[in-house]
Structure formats: structure tokens, C-alpha cells
Amino acid sequence: MKKRVVITGMGAVTPIGNSLETFWENAKAGVSGTDRIASFDPSDHSSQVAAEIKGFDPTTFIDKKEAKRMDAFVQLAIAASDMAIADANLPLDHIDLTRAGVLVGSGMGGLKTLEEQHRILLEKGAKRVSPFFIPMEIINLAPGQLSIRYGFQGINISVATACATGAHAIGEALRYIQRGEMDVMLTGGTESCITPLSVAGFANMRALSTRNDDPTHASRPFDKDRDGFVIGEGSGILILESLEHALARNAKIYAEVVGYAATADAYHITSPDPEANGVTRCMQRALDDAGISPKDINYINAHGTSTPFNDKFETLAIKRVFNSHSNNVVISSTKSMVGHTLGAAGAIELIAAALSVKHDVVHPTINYETPDPECDLDYAPNTARHVTVNAALSNSFGFGGTNASVVVKKYISNN
């Protein structure tokens, strides 16, 4: 028998809010976090817009000296984790820390540090490279730092599956609790790689929007005039607990995590399968894992990147899995507001899905102005929707043809 798993705490640092509450209020209001890139001069880049975090001070959470020894992606993970643990009211001095684990991923890791230290190497020589370069840059130092910070002595690993990272991290954390190996998992994703090199790379593969004269409308998932994604940054962290552990300490519960699946397209390094076979199987397997039918899903938090192919093929997959019910399920894309936060996307978006389950509100897909005949479902355009959300599905797909779907539903004590 699989143990039941619930969400008891969440934290978020995003382009539309540096706390869970601010993120959710701005998401419901349809606030765009996209603007012209401010962290460097993007004038010679074809794409000059991004969804950057505003007003974040890492020293609010981390000692100034220590913060200087951490890349931004780790700083964001610590901030979101502090929020999640506080939100869960998790008593670190009264739980078995050998059964508390960390599984947090990043798609790109310390790219900011890598670019900066490479510049120093070229300009000042090898002896000037920071001795902290390696632990600042490598991806598993996000969960490593978190494990040290909170004393979690259970599993301590990371995943790196591009844009599906956050969802895979949560899904694999779910399994550790379901199998009875862990009682508590701190899990999610974190990313901060809005850099000259990263933006140039994504732009030169024609993945990014070039709506430079109208940044707030650049991310427009499922809209006919979408022209690419907007790169974002942020971190989403969740506290998962076995139901019995949560009940024993009288924890509040946002939602129950009931299903997870991961599949591969086995098609192309960047392009999604035009038949959407891998995505279709992923959603169906997640529903099967949850033990529910497509008709039980009220809301889908779509991968919804605002790229021509992804939105079209995700729509196709939804139709294949949900059949006639695809016209009844409400769909929205968090990326329309926060951009594509890469390795953090799946976690931030599952947070949105869990809040929809908790509060029966679906945030909108903003900038939806011109319907696309090939994207003809209900994408909750531009205005939040008050609708009963008993169960929600969150999709995340990544380069390399890697897919993840996670199902959450309302917690009911006797089921």
C-alpha cells in the first residue's frame, strides 16, 4: 500500500512576487512579470525581454558573507525553502531528521557564477578564480545547502531535466514518501540564469519571443500570435509529508498529491513530438497512478510555453487524453505571467495548481487576444475563474523529450 502524501507548506520567489501570498494575488490578477532585461544591457540580443525577479534581497534570509559564496539559484532556493518551512509550521526540533529529505533541482545551475568566473579567468588569470566557484556552480549544492541549513539527514539529491526539472523533483520526492522511506520531503526547483550567454543561446535557436517593443505582452501562450517563450527566473519549494505524519502534528493541508508519471518522446533534442505521443502517455499514466479518470480533472496547469509547436501539441495531447471532457476542463498557463522559469517552472506551477485546489480559483492565461484554430480549448483567457477544483493536473516538458505530469486533489480524510 502506498502511503498518502499531502502538501503542508509552500514558498515561492517569482517575477510577480517574492512571497507565496504576493505571487498568488498577482497571478489571480493577471499581472505580467515581463519587462526589458535590466540585469545586463541586451541591446545586441535579438530577444531583449525577460521575467526577472524584482526587489529580492538574499541577505533577508542569508548572512551577507555566506550569500556571497552562493550563486543566485541557491539563494532563491533558500528563500523559498525558509518560506515553505515557516508556512508548514514544521517543527525541526521535534521531527525525525533522518527521515526528512531534500530533492530540489535546477535546469541550468550556477550559470551566472560560471560566466563571471570564466571572465575572471580570461582577464585576471587562473589564480583569481574563486575557490568557491565549484560549490557555487554545481546543481546539487542547492539541496546540499538546504540539507545543511535545516539538518535534514535523509535523501539529499537533485534532478536536472531542463524545463521538467521541478515536476520531476516533486514526483520523485512523492515516491520516497509513498514507499515509506521518508516522512518529510522538501522539494521543488530553482533557477536564475538570465545572463548574456543564456539569452543569446536560447534566442539563436529561435526559442525566445522578440516582442521587444511590448514586453508585458510577449508571453502569450495559446494565442495565435505567440512567437516564443520569455525566459524567467525564480524558485518554488513545497513541503510534502506522509498523511500520518501531517495529521500527527495537526498540520494544515493544501492538497493531496495523488499521481505522477514521467515519459520520453524519444523524438528530438528540442522539438516536441508532432504526434504528442509521449505527452499523451504521460498525462494518462499520471491519471492512472492517481486512480482517477479524465472526467475527474477540473483544471490543467499547462506547460503552455508560448512557443508555436509546444502549445499546439500540448493541446492535441489534452484532446487525446480527455476526449469530449477537454471542452469542460479549464486550462491556464502560469508562464503567461512569470515567463518560463526553466528548472523552477514545474514547481511554481504545481504551487499554482495546489492553490487552485485549495481555493477553487484558477488564475488566467494573460495576453490571450487572437484565438488559434489549433489551440481551441478553454485557456481561462485574461480573467481569473472561480470554479470548483476537486482535482488538477500540472504538465511540464523539457528539452531532450522529457515529460512529467503531477496530479493533486482536495484532501478528504476518509478516502
Which residues are catalytically annotated? 163
Helices 345-359 and 165-178, interaxial angle, to 10°?
60
188: three-class secondary structure by DSSP: strand
Q: How, if at all, do strands 299-301 and 330-332 pair?
A: parallel
Among 26, 19, 163, which residue's Cα sits nearest to residue 86?
A: 19
The amino acid that residue 338 corresponds to is: V
Residue 221 CB: number of other CB atoms within 10 A? 28
CA 302 distance to own-chain centroid? 11
Question: CA–CA separation, 398 vs 303, rounded Å?
Answer: 10
Indicate the Cα dihedral angle 267, 273, 276, 281, nearest 10°. Answer: 20
Phi-psi region of 339 (alpha: psi -120 to 50; beta: other; left: phi over 0): left
CB 367 within 8 A of CB 304: no
Question: CA–CA separation, 40 vs 52, rounded Å?
Answer: 11
CB 364 within 8 A of CB 410: no
Residues 6+ apart with CB under 8 A from 342: 107, 108, 162, 163, 165, 191, 193, 231, 232
118: three-class secondary structure by DSSP: helix
Among 102, 100, 96, 98, which residue's Cα sits nearest to residue 80?
A: 102
